[in-house]
Every structure is written in structure tokens, then in C-alpha cells.
Structure 1
Amino acid sequence: MRRLRRLPPLALAALLAGCVGSALAPVLISDEREREMGQRVVTSLEQSDGFHRLDDAEVNAYVSGIGQRIAAASPVQRSFPFSFQVVRRDEVNAFALPGGFCYVQTGLITEAQCEAQLVGVIAHEMAHVALGHHREEIANQALLQTAQGMVFNEGSPFAAVAAARIASGLGMLTFNRGQESEADRLGAVAMARAGWDPRGLRDFFARLDEISQGGGGGRIAQMLSTHPSNTARVQQLDALIASMNPPPNLTMDSPRFSEIKRRVAGIRN
């Protein structure tokens, strides 16, 4: 069950202004059920062609450490734990599955210009899970199946069908514009509470435009290049960060990130 922790008034107001719709959405899938469905997707995903774990304990521990700090600091909580795995893939992307299973691709680590940019993307993907966006989309699909005569219960094949669909898209459901904006807001708040500068998330969207203009647009995951536009996201985050008035000592970069980035680049080469 999600619960709100104490949050500075301005940040809480900014968060709730955009997230109340998700928070009040009907819950048709329990946390336990979502976790079970997510595990099915993990099994299908990790057996699929083109999926390659990065078997480097140091890099995985670094990413997991970031994720666990974000999870602990987030004002919106779920009853299940988050887990993290780095994937060997040049595409600039990270994604989270139902139930808190999170994946970060090596292309994101190498293209992020500072630690806060990497943290911002991870926090954004975790926010989708925290806000229940995966189960909202799964529930929407379930309603469509029910309307067609497929009852959504323990004996229904819907969960397996949903898992296969998610796995075939490398773990990604399609979120709408409002859900993406909600995840941006919660991600920025969570990373600030965890000690990172939320401008890192804002700067990352500007970074995507730089990559595209430099001819690398094909390496950017579609989910990171749409809903809404990068320009709109930068503007929205500028307004949010101004309302949060974060302290000046938040982390934007660290020597450890530079070490990890060099390590990943060496592995790729």
C-alpha cells in the first residue's frame, strides 16, 4: 500500500497537483499480484533474444545503491522491494517492470554527462512503479479483455498474455502524457530527497536533444523521446524545481560516477 511520508509543503503541493489522479485511481491489482506478474515478465524478458545481463558486480552494485536510496527517499511507497540489473545494450534507456524490477542499459550510463542525469532517469522509471502506472495500464487492458468475455481472475490467461506483451517490448508498457509528467515530478522530488540535484533529470532531457541532433537519435528509446516533448518536460521541471527551492548542496556529479562510466566503456569495447 502506498503512503506519503513527510515532505516540505511546496514540494508536496507540486507533487500532489499532478499525481492525485493516479493516487485515486481504482486499484484492481494488488501489490502481491503485481509483483507476481512482474516476475513472469522478468522470466520471459531475460530468456529473450537480445537480452544480455552485464555481469559486473561493481557496476550493478553502484546502480542498485542509487536505486535503493531513491526507493527509501520517495514520498510514495509500495509494499514490495525494488531490484536493479544493468543490461548490455547501447540504446539510451532504462525501464521498470510491474512489481519493481528495474533495468538500466549501458547506453544510458555512457551517455549521461553526470551522475544526477543517470539518477534522474532511474528515479523517473521507479516513479512509474510507485504511482501504480503499470497496474493502471494492465487493469485497462484487463477491462478490455473482460468486455470481450475474458474474466480477470486467478484462472484467467490474461496475466500470461500481458506478460508476453510486456516482454516483447523489452519490458515497456506505453504510458500516456499525464503519467509521464507525473513520473517526472515524483522522480525529481524523490531524487532531491535522496540528496541529488533534480536539475539532473531536467538536463537529461536536454541531453536527449543533443544526442538526436548529433545523429544518434536511433539510439534513444522511443519512450524517452515522446510523451511529452523534451522541451515541454524541461519547462515543466524548471517550474517544479523553482517551487521546490532545493538546497544548493545537492549532488550533481561524483568521482564514483566517472569511475563507473569508464568501467562500462571498457567493458563495451
Structure 2
Amino acid sequence: MKRISLIVLLALGLGFWSCDKNDNFIPFFSVEDDKALGLQVSQEIANDPSFTLLSNAEYPEAYEYLNNMVSNILNSGEVAYKDNFVWQVTIVQDDSTLNAFATPGGYIYVYTGLIKYLESADALAGVMGHEIAHADLRHTSRNLQKQYGVSILLSILLGDNAGQLEQIAGQLAGTVAGLAFSREFETEADLKSVEYLAQTEYACDGAKIFFQRLEEMGQSGGTPEFLSTHPNPDNRIENITEKAEEEDCDTTLIPESGYEAFQANLP
């Protein structure tokens, strides 16, 4: 009886607290739940033979460069969960895929194809800022809450359905499309990237460079995988540009940053 009462109270509490005064969705998962799910997803990815992950031991220079970039963004003073999440970056070896994605808890994956496609540190920093924002804004948790509803999440949190968490993690890792977000979430991440980079050495509108290059290249060869999992509204570049103007931040590309050497350190 007490257990039923607890579930009812939690459900009622969720109904009350699911929106704030600005009608913004508030995740039911705690920060620790985000970290647990992210860890589970990372383990699923590590055990999935379809992913070829580069190790830090074999490519220390590449990881040092990438980790320094991420550290600069995290130290912008704008990342809410800077000290709470793992913020672990992994390079996926796949030159044919233009993609990057983030799991809950700050596990970030970036493909060699995307790194080699981009031509500047500012462009990659824009993408990394975008992915950090997805984790920091807890977009996956918010998606799961909408998708699975209160009852299943409560069963997981109360320890009654541990297998469900593993199943969800497996689905996220197995499809990566499970980490796809709405246009609203993509816009949030784009704009947050500008705020992050505005406090760094990188051009604050770096997130738009990827999409500008796609336009210049005419998206030859079909739609990149990055856009399969990240919807690309027509006004995306415009939104980032307007946000940079609003922030009045520096959009100058940084001088020689060792980006070409970083690319050359990859297989």
C-alpha cells in the first residue's frame, strides 16, 4: 500500500512539476539518472562491433587536441552541468560519415569523417558546442520522458524494471537515431553553442560553418548522416547568425590552431 501511494504521489508531483512558469519541459530523470543512462549507452557502444572507436593510447595527440577544445568550451562559464557530467569524448573511425552525437551525462562521439570534412577549429568547436548543449540541456532525458511516460520511468527509478533501462540504452546505442531531436531542441543547441563559444577563443558562430559548407558543396552524394539525426531547418544558419549578433560576440576565425596537424594525426 505504501509503495502504491509513493507511485501515486510521484506521478502527481510529476504532473505539477513537469512544466515551469515559462512552460518549459523539466526532465523527470535526475542528474544521476542521466549519468547512469549515459554510462549504459557508452558501454553498449563500446561492445557494438559496428562502432570502431579510436583509443586514447593509440592517438594521444588527436585526443589531446580534442579534449583541449572541449575543455575550453566547458570552461566558458555557460555550461550548467560542467561539474556534474562526465564529459568524455570518443572519436569514431568512419571517414564516410559526417556525424557527431551526445548521450546523457556528457558522453560525446565525433566521427573522423566529420573532423576531416570540416576545415577549421572554429567549425568543429561549433559542432562540439552543439553536442555539449544537447547533453547540458538534457534533451535525451526530455525525449524519453515524452516517449515512455510516467509509469515506465517510475518503474525504472524505483528499481522495478532494471531491464528496461538496459533496453533503452541498447536502442539509443544501436540506432543513434534514437538520439535525434526535434527542431526545437536543435535550435536550442545551436543557440547555446553560440553562448558557449562567445566566451572562448573560437568564432562564436562556428556552429553554422558546417551548414555553410554543405551549401557550398551542394550536398553532393546525398544527405549526410549528420543531417539524418539532426534535422536541418532552412533558417538554421540565419538563427545562429542572429544569435551571434544579439550576443555581440567575435565571429573572427582563430589563426593557425594546429587543426590540420590534428586531422593528420587521425587514421
TM-score band, normalised by shorter chain: 0.7 to 0.9
Shift in Å, 1:35: 0.4
The answer to whether the aligner puts 1:105 opposite 2:111 as a matched pair is: yes
Report which of the two structures shows the higher radius of gyration computed on alpha carbons: 2
Correspondence 1:48-59 to 2 at 5 A? 48-55=48-55, 56-59=59-62
Match of 1:259 in 2: 261
Per mean C-alpha deviation after superposition, the further-off stretch among 120-129 and 59-68 is: 59-68
Correspondence 1:10-25 to 2 at 5 A? 24-25=24-25
How large is the RMSD of aligned CA atoms in angstroms?
2.4
What amino acid does structure 2 have at the position aligned with 1:68? Answer: S
Match of 2:136 in 1: 130
Correspondence 1:1-269 to 2 at 5 A? 24-55=24-55, 56-78=59-81, 79-90=84-95, 91-143=97-149, 146=152, 153-156=158-161, 157-170=163-176, 172-215=178-221, 217-218=223-224, 220-224=226-230, 226=231, 228-229=232-233, 231-247=234-250, 251-264=253-266, 267=267
Shift in Å, 1:26: 2.5
Structure 1, gaps ≥5 residues long: 1-19
Stretches (4+) displaced over 6 A: none
Match of 1:3 in 2: none
What amino acid does structure 2 have at the position aligned with 1:53? Answer: L
Change over 3 Å in CA distance of 1:70–1:151 after alignment to 2: closer
- Asked whether the 8 Å contact 1:192–1:198 carries over to 2, the reply is yes
- Asked whether the 8 Å contact 1:116–1:252 carries over to 2, the reply is yes
Q: Distance in 2 between matches of 1:196 and 1:208?
A: 20
Match of 2:4 in 1: none
- Asked whether the 8 Å contact 1:42–1:101 carries over to 2, the reply is yes
Q: Distance in 2 between matches of 1:253 and 1:171?
A: 35
Q: What is the TM-score normalised by the length of structure 2?
A: 0.81
Match of 1:5 in 2: none
Q: Distance in 1 between matches of 2:131 and 2:98?
A: 13
Structure 2, gaps ≥5 residues long: 1-20
SS in 1 for 2:102: strand
Q: What is the TM-score normalised by the length of structure 1?
A: 0.80
What amino acid does structure 2 have at the position aligned with 1:71? Answer: L
Percent identical across equivalent pairs? 23
Q: Distance in 2 between matches of 1:162 and 1:256?
A: 39
**Higher share in helix:** 1
SS in 2 for 1:175: coil
Report how many aligned residue pairs link the two structures: 240
Shift in Å, 1:220: 4.3
Q: Distance in 1 between matches of 2:225 and 2:248?
A: 34
Shift in Å, 1:194: 1.9
Q: Distance in 1 between matches of 2:238 and 2:143?
A: 27
Shift in Å, 1:210: 3.4
